[in-house]
Amino acid sequence: MSALQCLLACFMLSLIALKSPCLGTGSASCSLQIGKVWLHTYTGVIVCNDVTEDMLYGWTLTIRFGKAPLNLLLWNVVEIEDPNNDPLVKMYEDNKYNAKLLSGESLYIPFKSDYNGSLPEVQGEITLTKKITPGITTPAATVAPTGTTQKPTNYDYNDVLKKSIRFYDAQRSGLLPDNDIPWRESCFLDDTCFGHDLTGGWHDAGDFLKFSYPMAFSVTVLSWGIVDYYDAYVAAGEAEHAVKSLKWATDYLIKCHIAKYEFVYQVGNPGDDHLYWGRPEDFTGIRPCYTITASNPGSEVVGEAAAALAAAALAFDKVDSVLYKDYVILLITHAKELFEFATEYRGEYVSVDGYYSASTFGDELAWAAIWLYRATNEQVYLDNATALYTEYNLKGSSYSFAWAHKKTGVQALLCKLVDFSYCVQVDKFITNYRPGGVLTYTPKGLAYRSPWAPLRYAAGAAFIALYVADLQTNATVAAEYKAWAKSQIHYILGDTGRSYVIGFGVNFPTRPHHRASSCPLPPEACNWGTFSDPGPNSNVLEGALVGGPNATDVYFDDRENYYQSEVACDYNAAFQSAVAGEFNMTEFHSNF
């Protein structure tokens, strides 16, 4: 990245929004918000706030650019032809599941675009217009009920943990000799990288790609929950199952470490993968691999992998230190080598396809050092962690606690391991997420970080709040943190009248954007016709956390609506650990 591009990226990341005056016959106040800029690509979201009239039959969105955008892609819409054939105008319409908008609601449309030189200029003509004749009908989906709901006093956390682990079982790739999920079979037995066996691991989301970065994050955070909230797993009878599930991913991450200074960060080509809808066992497309090397560094990914293997070593040792003794040694050996790789050859990772590209790596380096200290008790790693904390200025609040943002996790762990001053930094993060902070809230109480899978962010923040609550010296603050975390986890589990965890509670989603679970058992066909079928998925993807509702608590249970209905390994990670943390709170023990 050139110095000019770097300055441009920093400027755009600090930009909140480019406001549109909404010329024409618009029915909402629309703006274009830039999210992330890297190399010659940027992403963002078009937001139309406070729709002024009911749109019962759908809507159209018109955007006028200062110059024609390059490879513009909008999600959740259907592009339509501009009647005037103006190259500076792009027109779109609803994509059935989001056709109905009511007065006062908001519309969020994520986008991605390439650019050469300067970014395309938006001249203020973003117009939302309602259709006045019936079009595509609203899908057979359910919405959280309005009005006051009777909130359950408790949930069966044991069952949630059990189902969440089972979700990871359903995501397994490779040879499945002990498979107890009838709609899954062995798959991708030819995954290799330069002659190295790359079978195994977890499919990332509803697709069949394997991304080491979010997979490693999931392992780290799941291990954290097992280690520090072990009682919850024992009570659920799931401790052994939990680490057995982890081993499917850690074995794969070890395989990805194909040389001392080489690590596989991706298997599968998104272009080929996303053109296919069917069973993983039937996929015949190309499965290339992509690596990080000393000359092509990626400290975020390699650092996260080091953290994952170190944290997992703690989890295996916790469950059975005798049985897993040799495996723990293997995990720590690879974690140390990966940490050396990440720190010795520092550089930002840029995915070949733009998926899961992060922007900084200081938090991952400190994160890995902390987990290595916890796994080895070697002071040098804690010294590294505090030095990296200072070097990369890891103070202050973070956007989230998720696959790309570990700063808050670093602060929370240093608060436990070093001193309380680090908890003061975590407090800023939690304050931003709690009511009165920088986030908006849905009418029913969800902290709404992003229109794309907001539940993962709420769950991540809830986990951090639970963890540092136990470190607080002020009992009132601790109680407030616990109560807020409980409100977010219980929102997910069903306090609004619907559960967002498949197979658990009431009114849970039945049409997740997940290929394998949508497919009927062979020999019935599974294809894009299955994708478009309005009926429920043929199989229940137990334990999977879906992306979540929109800003007004509306959730469309439609597999085409991947913005809300897709699932992913990283979605469940902090959620599962937060549920374990909820159980671990003293006041909940009497529930079981």
Identify the residue with better confidence: 108 or 442: 442
Peptide bond into 522 cis (omega under 30): no
Helix (H) or strand (E) holding 376: helix 362-376
pLDDT band at 572, cuts 50/70/90?
Answer: very high
Percentage of the chain lying above the pLDDT 90 cut:
69
Q: What is the pLDDT of residues 65-89, one digit of tens each?
A: 877 777 787 877 888 888 887 888 8
Amino acid (one-letter) located at 487: S
In this structure, of 19-28, 115-124, 539-548, the range with the lowest mean pLDDT score is 19-28
| Structure confidence at residue 40 (pLDDT) | 66
Residue 238 in this model has a pLDDT that exceeds 80 = yes
Q: CA torsion 532→538→543→545, rounded to 10°?
A: 10
Local structure of residue 472 (DSSP, 8 states): -
Question: If you count them, how many residues does the chain have?
Answer: 592
- State how far the Cα of 14 lies from the Cα of 490, in Å rounded to an integer: 33
Q: Which residue did the predictor score with more confidence, 1 or 453?
A: 453
Which residue(s) pair with 64 in the sheet?
Answer: 89, 125
Q: What mean pLDDT is predicted for residues 397-409?
A: 95
For the annotated catalytic residues, the residue numbers are 513, 557, 566
Instruction: Say how many C-beta atoms besides its own lie within 10 A of residue 353's C-beta.
Output: 15
Q: How confident is the model at residue 132 (pLDDT cuts 50, 70, 90)?
A: confident
Task: State the average pLDDT over residues 349-365.
Answer: 88
- Determine the pLDDT at residue 358: 78
CA distance 8 to 414: 33
Higher pLDDT, residue 588 or 65: 65
Question: pLDDT-derived band of residue 588, with 50, 70 and 90 as boundaries?
Answer: very low
CA angle 208, 211, 215 (to 5 degrees): 105
CB 581 within 8 A of CB 589: no
Pick the CATH number of 157-591 from 2.30.180.10, 1.50.10.10, 3.40.50.2000, 3.40.190.80: 1.50.10.10
Instruction: Give the per-residue pLDDT at 525.
Output: 97
The top-scoring range by mean pLDDT among 64-68, 150-154, 445-449 is 445-449
Supply the Cα-derived Rg of the chain in whole angstroms.
23
Model confidence pLDDT, tens digit, residues 488-511: 999 999 999 999 999 999 999 999
Are 506 and 497 spatial neighbours (Cβ–Cβ below 8 Å)?
Answer: yes
With cut-offs at 50, 70 and 90, classify the pLDDT of residue 420: very high
Q: What is the pLDDT of residues 6-52, one digit of tens each?
A: 333 333 333 323 333 222 346 778 887 776 666 567 777 788 887 88
Q: How far apart are CA 528 and CA 126, in angstroms?
A: 33
Residue 268 pLDDT > 80: yes
Has residue 537 got a pLDDT over 70?
yes
Q: Parallel, antiparallel, or unpaired for β 289-293 and 59-65?
A: unpaired
HEC assignment per residue over 117-176: CCCCCEEEEEEEEECCCCCCCCCCCCCCCCCCCCCCCCCCHHHHHHHHHHHHHHCECECC
Mean pLDDT (the chain) is 87
586 has pLDDT over 60: no
Q: Does the pLDDT value for residue 375 go beyond 60?
A: yes
Average pLDDT over residues 537-543: 97
Nearest to 186 by CA among 583, 578, 530, 516: 516
Residue 291 three-state SS: strand
pLDDT at 353 over 50: yes
More confident residue, 84 or 430: 430
The pLDDT of residue 23 is: 29
Q: What is the pLDDT of residue 553?
A: 94
**Contact between residue 311 and residue 227 where contact means Cβ atoms under 8 Å apart:** yes
CATH code: domain 3-130 is 2.60.40.290
Tell me where in the chain the CATH 2.60.40.290 domain(s) lie.
Answer: 3-130
The whole-angstrom separation of Cα 395 and Cα 411 is 8
Residue 101: pLDDT over 60: yes
pLDDT band of residue 592 (cuts 50, 70, 90) is very low
Query: What pLDDT digit, counting tens, does each position of 291-323 carry?
Result: 999 999 999 999 999 999 999 999 999 999 999
Each residue of 155-182: pLDDT tens digit?
A: 999 999 999 999 999 999 999 999 999 9
Query: What's residue 39's pLDDT?
Result: 57
Start-end of CATH 1.50.10.10 domains in the chain:
157-591
